[in-house]
């Protein structure tokens, strides 16, 4: 019985991988600047199949934007789905970002200081992102500008798709490290390196609870504890879609010259650092709310004593 189940699972993984490869080949044929239109078409065609995603976005908006109702809310949800599909399509074209000229054509900094912090620094650097804009693009952009980043990711359930996605991400430059290899992240910081973390998903019971859009959200403690342990600078970066395949890259300082003596212990430091970067992320999301990944169950885990 167990063998049959294992074979069935392997077969489904292989079929899923074949489907992903076919989609990848087809998506690669489209110009990068046309992917917004392709995403719009997909949302129109697949609309009836996206009810669960629409419901989740709607539930999250009830916390974040309770005054958004009726046709405005419907339009917001539609635009958010189009954005999410476009990001998926763009990631499928990651190979194009191995070309430096292509990257610099499609991504530009809001100001030179946004990239200078990567190039001219004397301390280790922790780069935090949320699932906002296109969170894959910053590694490609800073790599094209001469910086080196070790960026963390989670393994996917399908090992074949996971390996394929890893090969795609290698085109961004830098070095991909899986979260299970967290010691490598620590070593990189100890060696005055730069690491990148996308850290705004629900972190479960082991997370740090901090406000996000006025409601407590369980958030990964890793960036805060790493910053405290290594005296690293901390910045938050975003890559915002501007239309016609163009993205605006920006960075904001969370902590620079972080000193352990500012905090009585690691728990206090982790909480303070987490609260600060999440507050900055919220400020940025409020400027372009339709580009946040509202499909996440961001407030899934509730503090002790509060109902789900």
Reported as a single tens digit per residue, the pLDDT across 158-181 is 999 999 999 999 999 999 998 778
pLDDT (mean) for 46-55: 94
Please check the confidence at residue 63 and state whether its pLDDT lies above 70. yes
- The string of DSSP codes covering 75-125 is HHHHHHHHHHHHHHHHHHTGGGGGSHHHHHHHEEESSTHHHHHHHS-SS-E
pLDDT score recorded for residue 11 = 87
Please check the confidence at residue 301 and state whether its pLDDT lies above 60. yes
pTM of the model: 0.94
CB neighbours (10 Å) of residue 17?
17
Please check the confidence at residue 42 and state whether its pLDDT lies above 60. yes
CA 77 to each of CA 54, 56, 172, 293: distance values in angstroms, whole numbers, following the listed order: 7, 10, 30, 11
pLDDT score recorded for residue 181 = 80
pLDDT score recorded for residue 307 = 72
Please check the confidence at residue 196 and state whether its pLDDT lies above 80. yes
CA–CA gap between residue 161 and residue 164 (Å, rounded) = 5
pLDDT score recorded for residue 5 = 63
Q: Tokens 């728990």: give the residue.
A: 267
Longest alpha-carbon distance in the chain: 60
Percent over 90 (pLDDT), the chain = 84
Mean of per-residue pLDDT scores for the chain: 93
CA 34 to each of CA 41, 45, 82, 85, 99: distance values in angstroms, whole numbers, following the listed order: 11, 17, 13, 13, 18
Structural contact between residues 257 and 125, judged by C-beta atoms closer than 8 angstroms: no
Helix (H) or strand (E) holding 128: strand 125-129
In 3-state terms the chain splits into helix, strand, coil percentages (rounded to 5) of 55, 20, 25
Taken as a whole, the chain contains a residue count of 308
Percent over 70 (pLDDT), the chain = 97
Q: How far is CA 238 from the centre of its chain?
A: 9
Phi first, then psi: give them for residue 197, nearest 5 degrees. Answer: -135, 130
pLDDT score recorded for residue 259 = 83
CA–CA gap between residue 49 and residue 30 (Å, rounded) = 24
- Over residues 250-274, the pLDDT tens digits come to 999 999 988 888 899 999 999 999 9
pLDDT score recorded for residue 187 = 92
For residue 170, give the nearest of 197, 143, 146 by alpha carbon. Answer: 143
| Beta-carbon contacts of residue 57 (< 8 Å; ≥ 6 apart) | 77, 80, 81, 294, 295
The angle at the Cα of 83, spanning 77 to 88, to the nearest 5 degrees, equals 130
- Over residues 94-134, the pLDDT tens digits come to 999 999 999 999 999 999 999 999 999 889 999 999 999 99
pLDDT score recorded for residue 10 = 83
pLDDT (mean) for 36-56: 95
| Beta-carbon contacts of residue 137 (< 8 Å; ≥ 6 apart) | 90, 97, 107, 172, 239, 247, 249
In which band, very low, low, confident or very high, does the pLDDT at 242 lie, cut at 50, 70 and 90? Answer: very high
CA–CA gap between residue 55 and residue 31 (Å, rounded) = 32
Structural contact between residues 269 and 260, judged by C-beta atoms closer than 8 angstroms: yes
CB neighbours (10 Å) of residue 230?
22
Phi first, then psi: give them for residue 298, nearest 5 degrees. Answer: -65, -30
Please check the confidence at residue 303 and state whether its pLDDT lies above 80. yes
Please check the confidence at residue 58 and state whether its pLDDT lies above 70. yes
């Amino acid at each position: 019985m167990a063998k049959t189940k294992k074979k069935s699972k392997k077969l489904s993984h292989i079929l899923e991988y074949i489907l992903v490869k076919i989609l990848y080949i087809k998506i690669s044929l489209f110009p990068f600047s046309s992917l917004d239109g392709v995403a719009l078409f997909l949302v129109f065609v697949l609309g009836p199949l996206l009810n669960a995603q629409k419901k989740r976005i709607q539930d999250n908006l009830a916390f974040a934007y309770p005054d958004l109702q009726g046709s405005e809310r419907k339009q917001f949800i539609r635009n958010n789905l189009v954005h999410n599909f476009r990001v998926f399509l763009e990631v499928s074209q990651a190979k194009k970002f191995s070309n430096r000229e292509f990257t610099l054509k499609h991504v530009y900094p809001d100001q030179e200081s946004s990239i200078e912090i990567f190039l001219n620094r004397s301390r280790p650097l922790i780069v935090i992102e949320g699932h906002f804009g296109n969170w894959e693009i910053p590694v490609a952009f800073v790599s094209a500008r001469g910086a080196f980043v070790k960026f963390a990711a989670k393994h996917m359930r399908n090992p074949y798709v996971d390996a394929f996605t890893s090969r795609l991400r290698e085109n961004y430059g830098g070095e991909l490290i899986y979260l299970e290899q967290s010691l490598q992240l620590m070593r990189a910081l100890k060696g005055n390196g730069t690491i990148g973390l996308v850290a705004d998903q629900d972190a479960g019971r082991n997370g740090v609870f901090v406000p996000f859009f006025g409601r407590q959200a369980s958030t990964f403690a890793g960036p805060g504890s790493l910053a405290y342990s290594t005296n690293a600078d901390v910045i938050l970066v975003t890559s915002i879609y501007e239309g016609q395949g163009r993205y605006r890259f920006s960075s904001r300082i969370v902590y620079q010259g972080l000193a352990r003596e500012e905090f009585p212990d690691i728990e206090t430091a982790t909480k303070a650092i987490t609260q600060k970067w999440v507050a900055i992320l919220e400020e940025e999301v409020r400027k372009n709310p339709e580009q946040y990944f509202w499909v996440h169950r961001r407030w899934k885990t509730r503090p002790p004593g509060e109902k789900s």
